[in-house]
Amino acid sequence: MQTRSIEVSQLYTLIRDTTRLTGVQAKILDHMQIALQCASDISKSQVYLCARGKNEDISVILAAIKPSYTHGSTFFKQGDTFLVDDLAIVENVFSTGRKVVGRKVLDQGREIAVTAYPIVDNAGQPFAVVCFASSSLKQQQVLTDTANLALQVPFAVNDYYSIRPQDGVLIVDATGRIIYANDMADDLYLVLDKEVVDQKDIIGHTIVKFPLVEQVRKTGRPAFSDEVSENMTLSAWGLPIISGGRVVRTVLVLTDVTAIREKERQILVKDSVIKEIHHRVKNSLNTIAGMLRMQARRAKDEDTKDALKRAVSRILGISQIHDILANQSGDKIDMDLLLDKICKLSIDSLTLCPVDVVREKGNMPLIVNSEKAVPLAIATNELIHNAIDHGFNQLDRGTLIVGTAVEGGRLHVYIKNNGHPLPDDFGTKTFDLGLQIVRNLAEIELKGQFELKNEDSMVVADIYCPLALMEA
């Protein structure tokens, strides 16, 4: 929307500074420019909006558009001015109020074909001219006529489709008769309509079975659909050409999307299989956790009970990760959402004293690759458990801070607690099994680093890993 407002401002400024057009006339041109790109694509020509300048001996180029599939610059630029004699075709349109077909010689001696149409106001008076200019001297009038009509009733920007060289383009009249088809359309349309297989040319053939064309005619609105024939899928876009309040023509664009749709189908199947795997893994882990709970209740040794309890918590943490993965689409995951659930699970299942959990997040969602999210989540889950088990042991209350940040191209996950500080002789050699697991995950799986230290009356655990690796 912002880009659109800039274009409008430029057009209005140019009209105000260089022409005598009224506000109503300027609004007509502004509305028309929405469809200029589509008109250029349909006509296979450069399109120019022209008007007389404040000095009526001068013609001004108010807009200049070239087909979206072409390179290079336009023959003329927005804001260019010409003497009336230098743009005689434009002056002829003003004089006659009718379409004019002719040619113009450029400064380099190059000749171009030009078809110009009047733009009239509510009183029926021509106040501007739209010119279709092509380097091909065999300019097809059915294309320029259709493109000019398309400018008269523009639709919203998002309703248009940028035509590409590989697209098949057909133009159908009000009766369904094909009045234009490019070479690609000849091949693609034959896939949908077997009745014209034996015909050398589909021009003149009447479309009888094409739901999209009927839909466009009835609604008077552009529309998209997929048309399937045997082993081929065609994407179709229909643009109604409206004149006198009715659809007089339909521009039909066909694109072979067979390979794209097959790839999309494969992705959906793969996504469903992956979701099912995560779901089954989650259920299996929950079953294992249940069995360990039963074993813990029967254990008589307190150390054994604690070990089994810790194992259950780890398993449930991993199960939670797979539960989230089973309920998402694609291979990306919101890391902050995952940490929210891990924190809740850990607090609900482990804490023996009240714990205030503080979640610190960045301004933007932290979306990471699901394969890398799993080891990071396991490591974070282990550090949360460690903080609860050791930091808050025998305390009346505690504060746990779990946060994420992006710093200098690295993802930083940190866990802080205000519980018991680390002993003075604490070091990597004193890591228990849980901390060893965290270090291996951070350094080996995530190609990062892990730190655990006392800092400002809190115990701080930091995991750093390359952001590029996490997003890949």
Q: What per-residue confidence (pLDDT) applies to 18?
A: 92
Ranges of the chain with pLDDT below 70: 1-9, 191-200, 328-330, 349-352, 428-430
**CB-CB contact of 248 with 146 (8 Å):** no
Determine the Cα–Cα distance for residues 419 and 391; give it in Å rounded to an integer: 4
Give bridge partners of residue 236 from the DSSP assignment.
Answer: 225, 254
Determine the Cα–Cα distance for residues 472 and 467; give it in Å rounded to an integer: 9
Q: What per-residue confidence (pLDDT) applies to 432?
A: 79
Q: What is the pLDDT of residues 307-344, one digit of tens each?
A: 887 788 778 778 877 887 777 666 788 888 888 888 88
3-class secondary structure, 300: coil
Q: How many CB atoms lie within 10 A of CB 432?
A: 10
Exposure string over 33-65, b if 16+ CB within 10 A, otherwise e: bbbbbbbbbbbbbbbbbbbbbeeeebbbbbbbb
Q: What per-residue confidence (pLDDT) applies to 6?
A: 39
**CB-CB contact of 150 with 35 (8 Å):** yes
Q: What per-residue confidence (pLDDT) applies to 194?
A: 57
Element (H, E) at 247: strand 246-256
